Structure 1
């Protein structure tokens, strides 16, 4: 009877674990699907009008959304694999994490470029059209993706230095994540140094742009309304930067929490942190610009509502 009781209890725990995992799977997948739909709709909006395609700040916004959306897709895929407890081989996991890091670096760099563009628009309004051109914007975005690619090439070279031939199999024992692919002390040291340099440099540029806008706002030759909007936008860029780079401390934070919390509590907190740190920052750009920008908002709402609202349809059309 005691053995039967233990067997029933074990079966109940397994059933409860499966139900919990399925619930988490469904909720997180539904949230990611909503965010992807909003991001995709905003990206379609930015390509649907010539005023968006020919304006530099909207081109930068499209690049930011593209990077965030791609990052969201890869992170959601890795999260679902971890929920289902599916392990991958090192080459497959390495490919996914390299792609995730490519987009993860381009997002904060694009935020830096957007901050500089807003600073130029307020501090040098007469020269803004000559400096911020379609050609210069394209070259800047090419530089952003080049830096991201070079960073990933360095990570790949350090990864290839790991003695994979000494492993019995290329099948991973741990779940695939960015942290598990930091094999060796050189990879970890390089990754920490690059993330620290990226965060400090990006923060300094955005803060400097913010200070420049404040100084220009006190000048009588600068429009107070445009300076105020630019200042608020730069503050949002700084918040976006912090949230975007918070994903770099996501895995170390999980390791620290795993050491001090019970496993059942850790599993539930893990899912909450994933939504807060990974999912939410990836949809923040669409929420900020889709709702704040007076030019984008009516068109975006028209597409989101499938043009069922006559007033919105009339405005967006």
Structure 2
């Protein structure tokens, strides 16, 4: 169990560092702050970074059995519920943006405007706030008043005194992710048809958009599987308590942390414009010099290999 905690902390530190670099890159360049693609990308970076940080803090507190005030626990749970939904919604919006850009290129400029972008962001956050409002209502109005002043080992299970309350929350999450997965699947099918009909000039960009949508679908599938995990964990609990604990921490890393850590790798590092600027900041503004240095070294090594005399 200690090993799982160490692995989790290492993963969190690495990907928070990557996310911070990407957030810095996004904020420094005005071209990124005014482009719909990168604005939607930032809507995955900010929530995912906050969610990873808060979830990691909550897990460490649970591991060491540190009790905190119930109201603070409620606030953390509400924030986590909000961030859990808003990031996948941003992925869906990014897939729709790719669908419009590839399948309706002539209308893309008219659809992707600052006004429609702001409306899209507002709708995303409003939809994401439904489950947090439900969690807040259940926590503050259905729980006995004496518990509101207590100190608890924070977990989402602490907020629900009846089994149906957690069942409603889980059902809402599953409905959300099934609808989002259906939208992503729709965009994938449409872009795949466009890729088959595209000319050789547009084939490369269309196939790249197709791969991006497919990777986003994989992310959403991992996020969806985290809501099946509690049922599997409950079955394992009746078999072996140690296996249950190890399985729960493994599920947290694979189905909770992993989808949040994939966004920077999928969209940030694969995007040519963003990755070039990011590498420039990583090398403190000397990426071109470092890149040319490596290229010159590789060129010399190839020349030396070709001109090396044959030894008999």
- Structure 1 pair 192/278, CA: closer, same or farther in 2 (3 Å)? closer
1:46 equivalent in structure 2: 26
Aligned length: 292
Query: Per-residue displacement from partner, 1:6-64 (whole Å, max 9, x unpaired)?
Result: xxxxxxxxxxxxxx64x654443232111111011111111221221121000000011
1:313: Cα distance to partner? 7.8
2:157 equivalent in structure 1: 179
Per mean C-alpha deviation after superposition, the further-off stretch among 204-213 and 144-153 is: 144-153
Contact 2:27–2:33 (CA under 8 A) maintained in structure 1: yes
Give the whole-Å Cα distance in 2 for the aligned partners of 1:109 and 1:101.
Answer: 13
Query: Per-residue displacement from partner, 1:66-97 (whole Å, max 9, x unpaired)?
Result: 11111101110111112212233322211111
- Structure 1 pair 185/265, CA: closer, same or farther in 2 (3 Å)? closer
1:232: Cα distance to partner? 0.7
1:272: Cα distance to partner? 2.9
Give the whole-Å Cα distance in 1 for the aligned partners of 2:26 and 2:50.
Answer: 17
1:86 equivalent in structure 2: 66
- Structure 1 pair 303/145, CA: closer, same or farther in 2 (3 Å)? same
Give the whole-Å Cα distance in 2 for the aligned partners of 1:178 and 1:313.
Answer: 48
1:299: Cα distance to partner? 1.7
1:230 equivalent in structure 2: 209
RMSD, matched Cα: 2.5
- Structure 1 pair 223/185, CA: closer, same or farther in 2 (3 Å)? same
In the alignment, is residue 264 of structure 1 matched against residue 242 of structure 2? Answer: yes
Per mean C-alpha deviation after superposition, the further-off stretch among 66-75 and 272-281 is: 272-281
Contact 2:92–2:184 (CA under 8 A) maintained in structure 1: yes
Give the whole-Å Cα distance in 1 for the aligned partners of 2:92 and 2:63.
Answer: 34
1:283 equivalent in structure 2: 261
What TM-score comes out, normalization by structure 1 length? 0.83
Give the whole-Å Cα distance in 1 for the aligned partners of 2:192 and 2:248.
Answer: 40
Of 237, 242, 245 in structure 1, the residue corresponding to residue 221 of structure 2 is 242
- Structure 1 unmatched ranges of 5 or more: 1-19
- Structure 2 unmatched ranges of 5 or more: 293-312
Of 104, 108, 132 in structure 2, the residue corresponding to residue 128 of structure 1 is 108
Give the whole-Å Cα distance in 2 for the aligned partners of 1:278 and 1:210.
Answer: 24
Of 102, 124, 138 in structure 1, the residue corresponding to residue 118 of structure 2 is 138
1:310: Cα distance to partner? 4.9
What TM-score comes out, normalization by structure 2 length? 0.84
- Structure 1 pair 249/305, CA: closer, same or farther in 2 (3 Å)? farther
